[in-house]
Amino acid sequence: MSVSRNTKIIVGIGTLISTAFPIVLLATIFVARVAPGLIGSTFTSESARETILYLYTHASIPIAFARAYQLIYFATFAFDFAHLVKNTAGSDTIRIVLAIGLAGASYLVMPIYYLLYILPGKPPKWAMKSEVLKGTEQPQ
């Protein structure tokens, strides 16, 4: 299944964001929780109360980022799944494994599917369906 250059770029950016955002988010949470303890922060209950109040009053910014991420993730997931279903030239076994992986571990499978079937002009031969034409086999 052929995909235009612009679509490849847009899907590539969506795949990158869908894969990188959770990693960056977890790293940020880790640094926010561990770094103050490593540098000897004086985090009192009063400063914790102020921090929580600040986060509640300014929560619209992280919520907007989360909603934008959800839209990008869903659009990329939907494109990958539709491409997976319509790509009949791909190997059935690989397509089934990728479909199961897309449903269960999409953060890992989205980049693999993008690099395997969407980015290259023609996927590798091992990822393509091997068709044997009836009546054309030569006896040995």
User: Averaged over 40-47, what is the pLDDT?
Assistant: 60
Percentage of the chain lying above the pLDDT 90 cut: 30
Q: Are 90 and 128 in contact (CB under 8 A)?
A: yes
Q: Which residues fall within 8 angstroms of residue 27, CB to CB, at 6 or more apart?
A: none
User: Averaged over 65-69, what is the pLDDT?
Assistant: 88
User: Given this model, what pLDDT does residue 57 score?
Assistant: 73
pLDDT tens for 69-109 read 999 999 999 999 999 999 888 888 888 999 999 988 888 89
pLDDT at position 42 over 70:
no
User: Given this model, what pLDDT does residue 38 score?
Assistant: 59
Q: What is the DSSP letter of 109?
A: H
Q: 91: closest CA among 111, 121, 116, 110?
A: 116
Q: What's the pTM value of the predicted model, to 2 decimals? A: 0.72
Q: Which residues fall within 8 angstroms of residue 77, CB to CB, at 6 or more apart?
A: 18, 102, 106, 110
